[in-house]
Amino acid sequence: MKSLRILFLLLLLPIYLHAAITATYEPVPALHFEKGFSPLNTNKLIAHIGTLTIHADGEELFDPNILNVNLSIKVAFTGPMQWGGLAQIQETFFHIYAVSTVNGVTQANPLWYDSMQPLRSENGNLNVANFVAELYLVGDQDWSRYTPNATYTMTQGMLGGFKVGVANSEHGYNGSNSTLISVNGNPPKLPSPQITIKGQQAISLHQAIGSLTTRVAEAEVVIHNGANGKQYAVDVVFTNLFNTSPFHLVWQGGGSNPPSIPYSLHFNNSNVTPGQPIRWEGLTHTPQSKDILVTGFTASAAQQALAGYYQDTIIVNVIPVNTI
C-alpha cells in the first residue's frame, strides 16, 4: 500500500517603517527541531524561526518591540510522543522566545503577549549599531519525548506577519512614545496578509493520475490592517525543501538515494510552477479559502512505485502586492 502525504510549512512574513532606524528579517527556509541549548532550556525541544536585525545607523535605540499582527505566541505540533516507553500521537505546544546579546549580556525573552512584546528588559539607549534577535520555538515537553525523524504537523497557531517598533525616548514604549520601523524595506501601513494552511490530509496516488486532482489541503487568507471597503491582492509562492521542479514525493523507507515520484500542485485555477507567484485578488478582512490540489502522477509511476510512505514538504510564502 502506498501512503502519500504533503506537509506544508509557512514562512514568517515581515512588514513596516521609520527613517534612520530600519530592520531586516530573514526567516529560516524550514523548521529544524533539536535539543535546546543555553540560554534556552536545555531539556526542551527547540527550532530556530528566523533572525531579526534592527539597524540603528547612528541613532539612539530604545526599547525594540515586536507587535503581533498574526504571529501566534503559542503554536502546537502533533506527532508521536513517548510516554513510559509507549508511543502515542499527541499535540504539544511551543512558545516563541527572542534571544539577543547586548554589550555582552545575553537574554532569552519569551513572547508572552498578543499585542506588543519588548525584546530586551533594559531601560535607556541600547547603544548598539545593530541589534540582533534570534527567534526560536521552545517546546513545553522535554526533547527526549519526541521521536527522531518522525513527522510532526502544525495543528494550532500561525507563524505569520508582525511589525517592529522602537520607543522614541527612554520613557518606554507606548502609544505616544513609539514609532514603527521599516522591515525589509516595506512601506508604512502595508496590509499584513495572514495565510493559514489547514485540513492537511494524506492522499492515494491513484486519485491524482494524469489530469485527475485531489484535495490535499486548504489555504485561508485574511488581510489585517487594511482600509475598510478596499480589496487587496497577494502573490502565493510554493516551493519545496529541495527546490525541485516539478515537485517530488520521496519514499521514506530509508537509504541514501530513495526513490521519488514527480507530481504537480494546482491552486487558484492555475498549475503551480515551483518558485513562481500565483496572484490571489479580491481579499478583504473576511477570511477567504481556496483548495490546494495534487495532480500529475503518471500511471507508470503508480505501478512501479515501491510500497510505503512518501512525503514532500511544501514551503508557502505569501507576498503583499499593491491594492486594487
Domain range annotation of the chain? 1-11+189-324, 17-185
Q: What is the pLDDT of residue 161?
A: 67
Q: What is the bridge-based pairing of β-strands 288-295 and 214-224?
A: antiparallel
Residue 179 identity (one-letter amino acid)? T
CA distances from 106 to 33, 37, 102, 313 (A): 22, 13, 7, 34
Nearest to 6 by CA among 265, 196, 235, 223: 265
User: CB–CB of 61/18 below 8 Å?
Assistant: no
User: CB–CB of 231/281 below 8 Å?
Assistant: yes
Q: What is the pLDDT of residue 23?
A: 85
Q: What is the pLDDT of residue 195?
A: 58
Q: Which residues of the chain have pLDDT under 70?
A: 1-19, 29, 68-72, 113-115, 158, 160-161, 185-199, 224-227, 254, 322-324
Q: What cell does 200 get?
A: 492537511
CATH topology of domain 1-11+189-324: Immunoglobulin-like (2.60.40)
- DSSP H or E stretch at residue 167: strand 162-167
Q: What is the pLDDT of residue 226?
A: 64
Nearest to 224 by CA among 9, 13, 52: 13
299-308: long-range pairs with CB below 8 Å, 24+: 299/209, 299/210, 301/205, 301/261, 301/262, 302/2, 302/205, 302/206, 302/209, 305/2, 305/205, 305/251, 305/259, 305/261, 306/251, 306/253, 306/259, 307/1, 307/2, 308/2, 308/3, 308/251, 308/252, 308/253
Q: What is the pLDDT of residue 16?
A: 29
| SS3 of residue 292 by DSSP | strand
Largest CA distance in the chain: 69
Cα(281)–Cα(56) distance, rounded to whole angstroms?
A: 36
Cα(208)–Cα(195) distance, rounded to whole angstroms?
A: 25
Q: The cell 514568517 sits on which residue?
A: 12
Q: What is the pLDDT of residue 249?
A: 83
CA distances from 181 to 49, 73, 119, 185, 320 (A): 21, 21, 15, 9, 17
Name the E strands within 11-114.
22-27, 33-35, 44-55, 62-68, 74-83, 86-102, 105-110
Q: What is the pLDDT of residue 26?
A: 81
Those residues with Cβ within 8 angstroms of residue 269's Cβ, 6 or more apart along the chain or in another chain: none
Nearest to 38 by CA among 136, 123, 184: 136
